[in-house]
Amino acid sequence: MKHIPHIDSLGLPPERHAERIVGEMLTHLAKKQQSRRAAIPIKPVKEALWAGNPKAQARLVERLCRDKGPALIDIELTSGKRGHYQIVFHEWSVWDDSRDGDEIRPGDVIPEPGWLMLACSRNVIMGVGNGKHDYRGANVLFIRHHALVRAAMRCNARTVADMMQVAKALWQAYSAYRMTREAYSDTPDGTRLAVALPGTMEPCTAVLRWSGRRLLTVTTLLGS
């Protein structure tokens, strides 16, 4: 059985242990991402995007859920007739910050763990009829390795599944915050968000900073 990295310390882990294991977790997720995306056949996916009626559109959503797997945060379908529909979904992916920020793709060399981070994106697929569709996607929020280390040290995040839940909770907290802001306004540098985490994990406060490349990034997590 393949080893899946996890934290097995008694109580909250010390920093050096957390850094090593969280790095192994991100490397594990990067490899899983490569395998998952390499296994998705392109032609059937393109054919599924035709989705001319609500039943076909619902099947397309089911397919996206299968293909995205645990990386999917949420998904919403607005169905229609004659190939008109809209699907909005959010997902996280593993990014390589050593190449000025780029998603880990099949065949890529995975860098040292300190260069890996998670990116949360918003994606919109619009069926516009006649078998055509438009796609728009943008990475909105990034989560640094350091922040995930703090999730282990301060919030009791111990497994790969816990880290995925942390990423989803951070996105949900940010999304709720944006609902209180004026549309298209910038999130102020240094914004702090209260984040509730599921299960036995402790709540925390996320600190958001703008990087030099104008990436909005969760740089650290503070204990509540």
pLDDT digits (tens, 9 = 90+) for 199-215: 999 999 999 999 877 88
> Angle at CA 15, nearest 5°, toward 31 and 223?
100
Is 1 contained in some domain? no
Is 3 contained in some domain? no
Residues of the domain holding 176: 15-223
Is 5 contained in some domain? no
Distance (Å, whole) CA 100 – CA 156? 31
Contact indicator for 216, 188 with CB cutoff of 8 Å: no
Distance (Å, whole) CA 156 – CA 166? 11
Nearest to 11, CA basis, from 140, 177, 158: 158
Distance (Å, whole) CA 5 – CA 159? 7
Is 7 contained in some domain? no
Place of tokens 């945060």: 73
Domain count, the chain: 1
Q: What pLDDT is stored for residue 45 in this prediction?
A: 64
Nearest to 221, CA basis, from 200, 197, 199: 197
Is 9 contained in some domain? no
Q: What pLDDT is stored for residue 50 in this prediction?
A: 76
Contact indicator for 141, 173 with CB cutoff of 8 Å: no
Q: What pLDDT is stored for residue 42 in this prediction?
A: 59
148, amino acid identity? L
Is 23 contained in some domain? yes
Q: What pLDDT is stored for residue 27 in this prediction?
A: 94
Give the residues across from 218 on adjacent strands. 143, 208
Q: What pLDDT is stored for residue 155 in this prediction?
A: 96
Which parts of the chain register pLDDT below 70?
1-2, 41-48, 100-101
Contact indicator for 34, 105 with CB cutoff of 8 Å: yes
Its sign, for the CA torsion 106, 107, 113, 114, is: negative
